[in-house]
Structure 1
């Protein structure tokens, strides 16, 4: 069984107030328990440093944790080190990182004019097809954050990506798609942290976290020119 966890950073929108870059990330692993255990170890470290247990541990929130009540001075002072350790733990857990980066200023007119969800589905489908490339001969479980891909948000995500993988990649095994709450899925929490680290590189020129991720990079689709 192949497990895929999909999350994103940035906003794939047209408003001038949104980020310039959008990063969509998929973590791939066969070692699900190894990944879960890595996340549990890191979450315990943060909770021991005063991170509220009812507050999801996300890259963007960690980086601005001076606004979180109760965190220790040690975490405030050394948060980039702790974030780096968190990312390194994920990287060491037998995962492969695949991602798409989109410069929203370069999105074609037809995608700009399409109904909500079309561009997101398109970029996700292209990345999934690139990962599969007709070579995965076993079941796939894809878990995505329900906040961004639920059916009420527009063009259905599940049927779109299933159709692409089955037809383009000749996938003949089970391919399930689950829309879940990231607060309850350790794999989605890992994908969020990695996606944020990549986003820092493109949006802010902060490459420290991407350097940790580079050894485990797989497919990269760039839409930046």
Structure 2
């Protein structure tokens, strides 16, 4: 990037919950994004900690390939949340929380529901970013519901083109989370958001509260339950 070049905003995405709109599915669906600019200083600290874990594991044959909040033990989880609280800039994280039973029937299909919620989230995150962005690069692990991936990706592009401000140039990229610390960071933040709403456990959320700019309950004022 040259001295005069406008900065690129990187947005890393993760989601929690499922697309089962019934009493047997998750109560909530969450989408969380982490907005960061280069240089990504936390990546070096996470890489160092990963190799510390490899070198000090009781069972050395078990490799520490990547961080995944739901699978990491409580000691690793506490350490990583501490690093996030210290190193991720304040007001870098936004989340949309959906109480699924308040979602109208016409929206209860992934190729409509996911792009709409993602559009709301990204529009807010980009509007809050500094002016003069050169480009927005959205990176996600993989789109949910593989069988409908093409339909969802097409709908995302249409939705974002309509919702993003000032014709902001953007790209959507899919990287393996185990190979990208940005996605692992998003996974940790989304776990904290999902844990707070789905399980009424606010501890992790509170530990990184300064980093969380918004956690918007999209149907909070909805009066009707559809199941």
Secondary structure of 1:11 counterpart:
coil
Aligned counterpart for 2:36 among listed residues 29, 35, 54 = 29
> Residue by residue, what CA displacement relative to the aligned partner does 1:164-200 show, whole Å, maximum 9, x if unpaired?
256640134x411101211211111111111112211
Residue 173 of structure 2: aligned partner: 178
Q: Report whether the alignment pairs 1:91 with 2:85.
A: yes
Under a length normalisation based on structure 1, what TM-score does the superposition of the two structures give?
A: 0.79
In 1, the alpha carbon distance for the partners of 2:164 and 2:50 equals 39
Unaligned runs of 5+ in 1: 63-78
Secondary structure of 2:208 counterpart:
helix
Aligned counterpart for 2:193 among listed residues 180, 198, 217 = 198
In 2, the alpha carbon distance for the partners of 1:206 and 1:145 equals 25
> Residue by residue, what CA displacement relative to the aligned partner does 1:7-63 show, whole Å, maximum 9, x if unpaired?
11221322433221111110111134313223213323433335832654311112x
> Residue by residue, what CA displacement relative to the aligned partner does 1:52-77 show, whole Å, maximum 9, x if unpaired?
32654311112xxxxxxxxxxxxxxx
- Matched residue count: 206
Query: For the structure 1 residues 147 and 181, does the alpha-carbon distance in structure 2 shift closer, same or farther, using more than 3 Å as the test?
Result: farther
Secondary structure of 1:155 counterpart:
helix
Residue 26 of structure 2: aligned partner: 19
CA contact (8 A) 1:127 1:219 kept: no
CA contact (8 A) 1:12 1:120 kept: no
Aligned counterparts, 1:116-127, within 5 A: 116-127=110-121
In 2, the alpha carbon distance for the partners of 1:176 and 1:151 equals 22
Under a length normalisation based on structure 2, what TM-score does the superposition of the two structures give?
A: 0.78
Q: Report whether the alignment pairs 1:53 with 2:48.
A: no
CA contact (8 A) 1:137 1:171 kept: no
CA contact (8 A) 1:99 1:221 kept: yes
Deviation at 1:157, TM superposition (A): 2.6
CA contact (8 A) 1:98 1:219 kept: yes
Deviation at 1:5, TM superposition (A): 0.3
Secondary structure of 1:195 counterpart:
helix
Secondary structure of 2:35 counterpart:
strand
Unaligned runs of 5+ in 2: 1-7, 221-227
CA contact (8 A) 2:119 2:160 kept: yes
Residue 145 of structure 1: aligned partner: 141
Residue 103 of structure 1: aligned partner: 99
Deviation at 1:84, TM superposition (A): 2.2
In 1, the alpha carbon distance for the partners of 2:38 and 2:191 equals 22
What is the CA RMSD across the aligned residues, in angstroms?
Answer: 2.6
In 2, the alpha carbon distance for the partners of 1:136 and 1:21 equals 33
CA contact (8 A) 1:59 1:196 kept: yes
